[in-house]
Structure 1
Amino acid sequence: MTVDMNDFWVFGYGSLMWNPGFEYEERQAAHLYGFRRSLCVRSWVHRGTEERPGLVLGLDRGGSCRGMAFRVAPDRWEAVVDYLRERELVTHVYLERTLPATLGDGRRVAALAYIIDRAHHQYAGALTIEEAASAVGSAVGRAGPNIDYVRNTLLHLREMGIRDHWLEDVGRAAEALAPAAR
């Protein structure tokens, strides 16, 4: 199967799935191989502080990831890339890549995606459920408690029919640690 390089697609695996923030012509469930959704980015602006960092999602190598792909009209390509760079590359913890994705209808497309830079100092690496829950349950940043981010993510993933068992376990454990955040 060949990859269609004539369209511009954006792959979302976290908040981009339900809040892309840009105009698109088509939205489809998509699958990306070789990367997985991971709560592996230390957040010290929106969901934590440098003293008590929270955790947000990154697209880390290994496995696969179900997400959402958005096809963007040619006359919007530049504006969408500018918007995404402003949104995703604030601290340069992500690397911008074009990767092959399989859409829900079976087409293979090239999609712009933001993957974690494992060499970046905000990369948290592989955490245990307990380590992640401790960070999520205690961190608060400009956008509010980290637990709210995880709750919202899990809610939207469920609505989209996507299960992330590890993230669900982190969410349950963090809830137990953050009773005041309820």
Structure 2
Amino acid sequence: MGDFWVFGYGSLIWRPGFAHVETQRARLHGYRRSLCVYSFVHRGTRERPGLVLGLDRGGSCVGLAFRVPGDLRDEVIAYLRDRELVTSVYLERTLKVRLDNGAMVEAVAYIVDRDHEQYAGGLDAAHAASVVRGAVGQSGNNEDYVLSTLKHLEALGIRDHWLEEVAGRMTPA
């Protein structure tokens, strides 16, 4: 089997954790980056959930596409499933993304399951910030996750106005 692509829109951008031979900016149509997943493990607990990013329906999302050698398919997919499917809030899909060079490729992506108990829906920025503020899980502080994502998006020249608004509201008044 040949090489394949993985689409990253959040922490995969700044911590992919798997071998790849090429990285390109890419746009996924039909889904948007959103803090729409209550985190019970990585950035919060069941008692004090945090919020993490998901790909939710609507709009489009600019992120990174990672090209993975075909001989690493089983290893990388197993890693991604262990990382992304901890509580089954994401659905693994193969979706078309447009690379910066104009090519359309199919990429493995993880979209939010709107029927899952962890789906937070479309929270406004103030509510999202109040959930993020002070939440901590196995992978660390929820605020650090949001700020790190924004820092890495900014370094790539990717603006996410809603996420920027959430971050601006995370500091208590």
The question of a shared fold, defined as TM-score above 0.5 by the shorter chain, is answered with: yes
Comparing 44-53 with 117-126, greater Cα deviation is found at: 44-53
Equivalent in 73, 76, 85 of residue 81 of structure 2: 85
Q: How many residues align?
A: 173
SS of 2:65's partner is: strand
- Equivalent in the alignment of 2:7: 11
Equivalent in 62, 68, 73 of residue 72 of structure 1: 68
How far apart in 2 are the matches of 1:7 and 1:103? 15
TM-score under structure 1 length normalisation: 0.91
> How much is the aligned-residue C-alpha RMSD, in angstroms?
1.3
How far apart in 2 are the matches of 1:26 and 1:156? 18
Q: How many Å apart are 1:45 and its aligned residue? A: 1.6
- Residue pair 1:41, 1:58 contacting (<8 A) in 2 also: yes
SS of 2:170's partner is: helix
The superposition leaves residues 101-138 of structure 1 with CA deviations (integer Å, 9 ceiling, x where unpaired) of: 00000000000000000000000001011110100113
How far apart in 2 are the matches of 1:78 and 1:99? 18
Unmatched 5+ stretches in structure 2? none
Q: Which runs of 4+ in 1 moved over 3 A?
A: none
How far apart in 2 are the matches of 1:46 and 1:72? 25
Q: Percent identity?
A: 63
AA partner of residue 8 (structure 1): F
Equivalent in 32, 36, 42 of residue 40 of structure 1: 36
How far apart in 1 are the matches of 2:163 and 2:49? 17
How far apart in 2 are the matches of 1:92 and 1:80? 18
